[in-house]
Amino acid sequence: METFLQQILNGLVLGSMYALVALGYTMVYGVLNLINFAHGDVLMIGAMIGLTILKLLETHAPGLSGGLQLAIAILGAIPVAVLVNILIERIAYRRLRNAPRLAPLITAIGVSILLQTFAMMIWGRSPLPFPQLLSPEPVNIGGALISHTQILLLALAAASMVALVLLVERTRMGRAMRAVAENPRVAGLMGVDSNRVIVATFAIGAALAAVAGVMWGANYASITFTMGVLPGMKAFCAAVLGGIGNIYGAMIGGILLGIIEALGAGYIGDLTGGFLGSHYQDIFAFIVLILVLTLRPSGIMGERVADRA
């Protein structure tokens, strides 16, 4: 029972990071019908910038409390990630908006590989240690342990999601986003500047990914230039599981996928009689993706996704 609770907690932590990244995928998909393959790498850029800021703080402003340092790192990583994602949209996607589907998909994967290469040139090839800033003493919740970093992560994820929901449901920009997602042409006729909406969508997605990236580093204590690939792919699976294009779906899908992965990794050894171990954790997202696509391609919250074009 205690392991079960522990796995659920681990799953929540993992899942809230997936959810943050999945939101970026799903929002871009909602307005543009495009998979932004570079989104996982935006998370990586966020983590790298966060680490750079932490190192600068260490030399120029020693003695700051750990929480404050982390906050500064996140606040510094967000604008850079936002800028990167807006540039990606401007350079790689905007000109291909009316092109057949294959074209932006190919540039997306190209941008992803370019971002990784640039990161490798700037930050090097080997994994970088990410400093542990919060108290390493874990908190005991009913027998399960959770670190302070993870508690902060859950709180940040929850706050970001609430802010996002308020933004999408209550503001003028949010209404414009929903209108463009529904039908860009009609939204344009109603006076919505779809380019501004699209840029805002990329910016918001990048900000969420930056938060996830820095917290990913803080949680796992090590980052590399390829760290964005797997979380990016899994977050996409989460977005599909929740129903792509739907922000509530992305949140539910992310958390659900995190829990599935954690439980799967915890129990796969017992289930297969020791044949497969917990290093197969990464296959669960893929299995979920295949199952969802076969059984219910629209996901939990989604509507139709069949090819109509």
Partner 1 sequence: MALLTFDLQHKPRQARISMAAVLALMLVFPFVASQFGNSWVRIIDIALLYIMLALGLNIVVGFAGLLDLGYIAFFAVGAYLVGLFASPQFAALLESLIYYSPTLGEWLVALFGPEIQQKGIHLSVWAVVPLAALVAGLAGALLGAPTLKLRGDYLAIVTLGFGEIIRIFMNNLNDPINFTNGPQGINMIDPIRVFGVSLAGEQGSGGMVDIGGYAMPSVNAYYFLFLFLCIATIFITSRLQHSRLGRAWVAIREDEIAAKAMGINTRNVKLLAFAMGASFGGVAGAMFGAFQGFVSPESFSLTESIAVLAMVVLGGIGHIPGVVLGGMLLAALPEVLRHVVEPAQQALFGTVIIEAEVLRQLLYGLALVLIMLVNPAGLWPSPNREERPNAALAHDEQEGAKA
Please identify which residue in 285, 299, 301, 302 interacts with partner 1, judged by CB under 8 A: 285
Site mask for partner 1 (CB under 8 A), range 10-39, x = bound: -----------------------xxx-x--
Nearer to partner 1, 165 or 293 (CB): 293
**Contact status, residue 266 vs residue 7, Cβ threshold 8 Å:** yes
- Count, residues near partner 1 per rule CB under 8 A: 57
Using CB under 8 A as the binding rule, whether residue 158 contacts partner 1 is answered as: no
CA dist., res. 8 & res. 11, Å (int)? 5
| Alpha carbon separation from 186 to 95, 99, 200, 202 (Å, rounded) | 21, 20, 19, 21
Closest by CA position to 21, among listed 307, 216, 198 = 216
CA dist., res. 107 & res. 116, Å (int)? 14
Please identify which residue in 105, 145, 173, 199 interacts with partner 1, judged by CB under 8 A: 105
| Alpha carbon separation from 259 to 13, 30, 155, 232 (Å, rounded) | 9, 25, 17, 17
Q: 24: how many CB neighbours lie within 10 A of its CB?
A: 31
- Rounded least distance, CB 271 to partner 1, Å: 15
Q: Is 292 helix (H, G, I), strand (E, B) or coil?
A: helix
Using CB under 8 A as the binding rule, whether residue 107 contacts partner 1 is answered as: yes
Using CB under 8 A as the binding rule, whether residue 190 contacts partner 1 is answered as: no
- Rounded least distance, CB 57 to partner 1, Å: 29
Nearer to partner 1, 1 or 102 (CB): 102
- Per-residue three-class SS string for 262-274: HHHHHHHHHHCCC
Using CB under 8 A as the binding rule, whether residue 42 contacts partner 1 is answered as: no
- Rounded least distance, CB 275 to partner 1, Å: 6
CA dist., res. 69 & res. 76, Å (int)? 10
Residues that bind partner 1 (CB under 8 A): 33-35, 37, 91-92, 95-107, 109-114, 116-117, 120-121, 183-185, 229-230, 233, 236-237, 240, 274-275, 277, 279-280, 282-283, 285-286, 289-290, 293-294, 297, 305-309
